């Protein structure tokens, strides 16, 4: 534990702005004397006391509730004092200032808390593990109901329990391999007798299930970035408005109306989709439009999925078809092969029956194709299903726990080490020292998720993303 973690800390624990109630939180070891001087009485543990919060001259700053939680039975595992006052920013700042002022004599080294420091102390004092700590931030930041419920499951320990189960099975397998290494003179084949290969296979199957759920949880947390691209007047802005259910982008029959990106986050079955409307892709001499087109390509290259919008009313025009072909070629060059492109044929309400019937043959070999009318909404449901499928969404929200990209990466690392372990264990002459090392590395990757083995640099990155009072 770093030296700064020994300092008592204070901060406003509620969001900036005005509200009915605001909270000032103090955490540290041995707060008893400080609390008694600040409140003018010795509070009973875990009992709300209504009293005046006085300044140095005995004048009331405010009247409110004080709650004292002696450690280790507190959020941080240390002594914690919470002052609940009226939620004006000036009132709360005066209370923080009073705490710092009194601390000069009653609680030396009291300082303002850094972002996430209260939760960091809860982690360091073994009140929660690292995955649960991250779930607190994810619960606060949740943009959908499904994400909030999944973060709640992670906070309750559902994800951590899965990781611990995997770790325990991995430790048992390591024990067998280490025993074989430690006693090579014994004729007993520990690994075969204990069915080590079977244990490893079951561990891999269990890991696959956890990885699938973690990937779904990461989708709930992060969502996907969907960029709408295509020629001018294909209906990109109309499609954004239809998906968002609001008039976000200006829609006119004038080509080049959209000059810059317009972004909106929507949700489909609880999965957040960050949908971006971009400028129409074409050759232009207009300097402003050229900047918008350049920005459109920047967004396209950073997309998780692209909706390539086509105009069914112009599909038979040679110039239009040639321009679409150029865009398709540019998309193939600019995008990673794993980024899906969905061909969306728009304006079915205005297209001829022949055009609407022939749309599926217009881009041969492309699996993801949808026809719709952004104006009437016909076909939007099919597009939403296609987006979820492209995102990899499979699970119902009720069974998913929130996860982060780093969790998915760690689980993928575990999977890689277990695959190497399987190759060794099934070989005719397994190198047991290499097998033992692969299993050790797999366990380290698992431990990094819950924080049993985590660098201080990673902790700094994680907790710095929290708000100050958390």
- Nearest Cα to Cα of residue 421 among 107, 126, 139, 202: 202
Burial-class residue 74 by CB neighbours within 10 Å (0-12, 13-18, 19+): buried
Is 257 annotated as contributing to ligand binding?
yes
Is 33 annotated as contributing to ligand binding?
no
Is 469 annotated as contributing to ligand binding?
no
Is 255 annotated as contributing to ligand binding?
yes
Across the chain, how many H-helices and E-strands are there? 16, 12
d(CA 272, CA 267): 4
Is 236 annotated as contributing to ligand binding?
yes
* Cβ contacts of 380 within 8 Å, gap of 6 or more: 242, 243, 372, 374
Is 292 annotated as contributing to ligand binding?
no
Q: How many Å from the N-terminal Cα to the C-terminal Cα in the chain?
A: 19
Is 238 annotated as contributing to ligand binding?
yes
Instruction: Find out whether 190 and 268 touch, Cβ atoms under 8 Å.
Output: no
Is 56 annotated as contributing to ligand binding?
no
d(CA 72, CA 52): 27
Is 234 annotated as contributing to ligand binding?
yes
Is 278 annotated as contributing to ligand binding?
yes
* Beta strands at 271-277 and 262-268: parallel, antiparallel or unpaired: antiparallel
- Nearest Cα to Cα of residue 391 among 343, 329, 342: 342
Q: What is the DSSP letter of 300?
A: H
Is 27 annotated as contributing to ligand binding?
no
Is 237 annotated as contributing to ligand binding?
yes
- Nearest Cα to Cα of residue 52 among 13, 86, 26, 93: 86
- Three-class secondary structure of residue 222 per DSSP: helix
Is 233 annotated as contributing to ligand binding?
yes
Is 280 annotated as contributing to ligand binding?
yes
Is 465 annotated as contributing to ligand binding?
no
Is 326 annotated as contributing to ligand binding?
no
The binding site for (6S)-5-formyl-5,6,7,8-tetrahydrofolate comprises 25, 82, 127, 470
The binding site for K(+) comprises 233, 252, 254, 257
The binding site for GTP comprises 233-238, 252-258, 277-280, 373-375
The binding site comprises 25, 82, 127, 233-238, 252-258, 277-280, 373-375, 470
The binding site for Mg(2+) comprises 237, 258
């Amino acid at each position: 534990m770093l030296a700064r973690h020994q300092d008592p800390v204070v901060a406003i624990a509620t969001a900036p702005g005005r509200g009915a109630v605001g909270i000032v939180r103090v955490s540290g070891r041995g707060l008893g004397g400080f609390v008694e001087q600040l409140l003018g009485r010795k509070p009973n543990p875990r009992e709300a006391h209504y009293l005046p919060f006085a300044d140095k001259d005995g004048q009331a700053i405010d009247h409110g509730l004080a709650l004292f939680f002696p450690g280790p039975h507190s959020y941080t595992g240390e002594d914690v004092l919470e002052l609940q006052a009226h939620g004006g920013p000036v009132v709360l700042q005066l209370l923080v200032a009073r705490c710092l002022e009194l601390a000069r004599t009653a609680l030396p080294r009291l300082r303002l808390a850094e972002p996430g420091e209260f939760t960091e102390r809860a982690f360091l004092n073994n009140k929660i593990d690292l995955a649960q700590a991250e779930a607190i931030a994810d619960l606060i930041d949740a943009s959908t109901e499904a994400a909030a419920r999944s973060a709640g499951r992670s906070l309750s320990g559902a994800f951590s329990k899965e990781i611990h189960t995997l770790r325990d099975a991995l430790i048992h397998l390591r024990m067998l391999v280490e025993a074989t290494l430690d006693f090579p003179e014994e004729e007993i084949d520990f690994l075969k007798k204990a069915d080590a290969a079977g244990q490893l296979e079951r561990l891999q199957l269990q890991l696959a299930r956890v990885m699938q759920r973690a990937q779904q949880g990461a989708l709930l947390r992060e969502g996907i970035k969907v960029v709408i691209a295509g020629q001018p007047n294909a209906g990109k802005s109309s499609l954004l408005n239809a998906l968002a259910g609001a008039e976000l982008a200006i829609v006119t029959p004038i080509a080049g109306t959209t000059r810059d990106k317009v972004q909106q986050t929507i949700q489909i079955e609880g999965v957040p989709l960050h949908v971006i409307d971009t400028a129409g892709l074409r050759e232009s001499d207009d300097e402003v439009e050229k900047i918008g087109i350049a920005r459109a390509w920047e967004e396209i290259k950073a997309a998780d999925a692209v909706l390539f919008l086509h105009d069914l009313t112009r599909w038979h025009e040679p110039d239009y078809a040639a321009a679409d072909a150029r865009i398709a070629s540019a998309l193939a060059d600019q995008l990673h092969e794993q980024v899906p492109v969905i061909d969306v044929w728009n304006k079915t309400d205005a297209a001829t029956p022949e055009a609407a019937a022939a749309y599926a043959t217009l881009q041969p070999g492309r699996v993801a194709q949808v026809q719709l009318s952004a104006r009437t909404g016909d076909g939007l449901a099919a597009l939403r299903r296609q987006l979820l499928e492209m995102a990899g969404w499979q699970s119902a929200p009720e069974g998913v726990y929130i996860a982060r990209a780093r969790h998915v990466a760690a689980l993928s690392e575990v999977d890689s080490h277990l695959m190497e372990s399987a190759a060794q264990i099934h070989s005719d002459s397994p190198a047991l020292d290499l097998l033992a090392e692969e299993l050790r590395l797999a366990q380290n990757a698992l431990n990094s998720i819950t924080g049993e083995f985590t660098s201080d640099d990673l902790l700094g990155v994680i907790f710095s993303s929290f708000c100050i009072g958390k």
